[in-house]
Structure 1
Amino acid sequence: MALLITEECINCGACEPECPNTAIYEGGEEWSWSDGTDLSEVELEDGSTIPGDEKQEPYSDEFFYIVAGKCTECTGFHEEPQCAAVCPVDCCVPDPDYEESEEELYSKKEWLHAS
């Protein structure tokens, strides 16, 4: 499952550089699918397609946040999610809205980083 950052976040920023998928953003910062990935365009759930570099609205204006669609729990990169490993207040936790199997996480990693 993807991870999320809770409101206990102290905005230290330790998590952001640790993410191999560039799925973590500072509060208020726009994000895009192509940040740190090989995605040039993305098909959305409704079937529409957008450019990978199209800026998206931030998930949070106050705290660092994780884009669930880009989070692989560091599968294929590290043994454990690096954001959770470095978080000094343990606010990087599993997101119950995005439960994924290890196979699904590997597939997502391949999708994000396919050359």
Structure 2
Amino acid sequence: MSLMITDECINCDVCEPECPNGAISQGDEIYVIDHNLCTECVGHYDVPQCIEVCPVDCILTGIEETKDQLQEKYELITGQAG
């Protein structure tokens, strides 16, 4: 599942540096997550780091993906075969 940031985002800037894939960036009004880069931290951490640091709990499941799909995306992004 790649994640999405809701309009409850307060632009606190804590999620962006936590993303190991660089999937989070400042959008027009709030931060956004590029679903092509989001692996929910699979391959890096046990839990999504953006969710761990978000003070307003505005990061939710966006696109449903299996753990295998997320692992495959991680391998493509990092060039590491599992």
What's the TM-score, normalizing by structure 2?
A: 0.94
Correspondent of 2:48 among 78, 81, 88: 81
State the distance in 2 between where 1:76 and 1:113 align: 9
Greater strand fraction, Structure 1 or Structure 2: 2
**Paired residue secondary structure (2:71):** helix
The runs of at least 4 aligned residues of structure 1 exceeding 2 Å deviation read: none
User: Which ranges of structure 2 fall in alignment gaps of 5 or more residues?
Assistant: none
Deviation at 1:111, TM superposition (A): 0.2
User: Which ranges of structure 1 fall in alignment gaps of 5 or more residues?
Assistant: 28-60
Deviation at 1:80, TM superposition (A): 0.4
State the distance in 1 between where 2:55 and 2:16 align: 13
Equivalent positions of 1:1-115 (< 5 A) are 1-27=1-27, 61-95=28-62, 98-114=63-79
State the distance in 2 between where 1:18 and 1:6 align: 18
Residue-pair matches, total: 80
| Percent identical residues | 51
Q: Name the larger-Rg structure.
A: 1
Greater helix fraction, Structure 1 or Structure 2: 2
- Report the RMSD for the aligned CA atoms in angstroms: 0.9
What's the TM-score, normalizing by structure 1?
A: 0.68
